[in-house]
Amino acid sequence: MKKLLLSSALVVALGFSFTSCRDTEKKADDVSDKTEGALEKAGRAIDNAANEVKEAGKAIDSAATEVVGDDN
């Protein structure tokens, strides 16, 4: 019984020594910072794509007007 109790205490102590709260928090902060930068870049890319689509739509309207003519 004594060996079981000491073995369990050793396993628990080793578990705590490998997993530190500060390390986990620091890693979470690092991931958060990297994710934030990626989300900002994705947002800018979406905005740029939307502007390009808008410009393409205007070009299509202009070309269609030239083909059909202004008298319709």
**Domain parsing of the chain, residue ranges:** 44-72
Distance CA 52, CA 35 (A): 26
The answer, yes or no, to whether residue 46 has pLDDT greater than 90, is: yes
10: pLDDT strictly greater than 80: no
Q: What is the pLDDT of residue 21?
A: 59
Report the C-alpha gap between 57 and 39 in whole angstroms. Answer: 27
Alpha carbon distance 41, 38 (integer Å):
5
Report, as an integer, the average pLDDT of 35-47: 86
pLDDT at 54: 93
pLDDT tens-digit map of 14-40: 777 666 556 666 777 777 777 877 888
The reported pTM is 0.47
Work out the mean pLDDT of the chain and round it to a whole number.
79
